[in-house]
Amino acid sequence: MTLQLVISDLDGTIVETEDYHRRAYNGLFEELGFDTRWTKQDYVNRLNVMGGGKLKEVFSWLNKPDSEYGKFKEETYLRKTQLYLQLITHDLRAGALGLRPGVQRLFAEIEKAGVPIAIGTACEKNAAYQVLDAAFHTSFTRKLEALCGGDDTPLKKPNPAIYLLVAEQCGVDPYNCVVLEDTHHGMMAALSAGMKCVASPSEYALSHDFSDATLQVKDFQTPSPLTLHDLRNLYEL
């Protein structure tokens, strides 16, 4: 086995996005006429719920029949995504938010060496492209080997479907992929796919258990810069 593909998650791994998702939900609540506002701890608690748990909770506040949930989910997810993109792309372009430490340097090193990079994210694909374009201010997304989003598979992390799909689209055996992740669910998705996983906990995942990760680092710059050589050495572990 050798490193043939680096796959990165987006939210929390490349950019600290989760607080923008929280703020987007709070904006949605205001538009819906609810007084509820999620604090950071409220949102941390809800991130541990898989499969649309947050929207199901909001729907329960409306006291409507279950038959209306499908339409509600579609409409509110679209609006929440719009609010999220307005908030995060504004701050990325204004310089108020940047890439996590070491991301740009590591990706540049991987690209220079000719190792392909792909993205596997729960974020809707079009939204992921917009965030990445705003974050890198370059043609980064056009150089990606693949980008698979949450709308490409109904199965969410820790199910490995998103990472297996990325590997399939890139024509690479999962065992030759290294995944960069920031959450326990993401780590388990990568490991379940048979891939190596470097875990770099995001702000909202500091309490997660990463003991099963192939390698855990604070970020890609600390305590020392993570390099392509380090990623290749994972196959020696």
Between CA 49 and CA 200 the distance in angstroms is: 20
3-state secondary structure the chain: CCCCEEEECCECCCECCHHHHHHHHHHHHHHHCCCCCCCHHHHHHHHCCCCCHHHHHHHHCCCCCHHHHHHHHHHHHHHHHHHHHHHHHHHHHHCCCCCCCCHHHHHHHHHHCCCCEEEECCCCHHHHHHHHHHHHCCCHHHHCCEEECHHHCCCCCCCCHHHHHHHHHHCCCHHHEEEEECCHHHHHHHHHCCCEEEECCCHHHCCCCCCCCCEECCCCCCCCCCCHHHHHHHHHC
Model pTM? 0.94
Between CA 14 and CA 32 the distance in angstroms is: 31
pLDDT of residue 137: 83
Residues of the chain with pLDDT under 70: 49-52
102 and 177 inside one domain: yes
The tokens for 201 are: 């906990």
Number of domains within the chain:
2
Last residue of a domain, one of 94, 117, 132: 94
164 and 229 inside one domain: yes
Q: 179: exposed, middle or buried (C-beta count within 10 Å: 0-12, 13-18, 19+)?
A: buried
CATH number of the domain that residue 137 is part of: 3.40.50.1000
124 and 212 inside one domain: yes
147 and 229 inside one domain: yes
59 and 165 inside one domain: no
65 contacts: CB under 8 Å, gap ≥ 6? none
CATH number of the domain that residue 41 is part of: 1.10.150.240
83 and 152 inside one domain: no
121 and 138 inside one domain: yes
Please give the residue range of the domain that contains residue 111. Answer: 5-16+98-236
In whole angstroms, what separates CA 220 from the centre of its chain? 16
146 contacts: CB under 8 Å, gap ≥ 6? 118, 119, 166, 169, 170
34 and 90 inside one domain: yes
Last residue of a domain, one of 29, 64, 94: 94
Last residue of a domain, one of 33, 66, 94: 94
105 and 150 inside one domain: yes
143 and 204 inside one domain: yes
Between CA 230 and CA 178 the distance in angstroms is: 11
109 and 64 inside one domain: no
Neighbour tally for 31: CB within 10 Å:
12
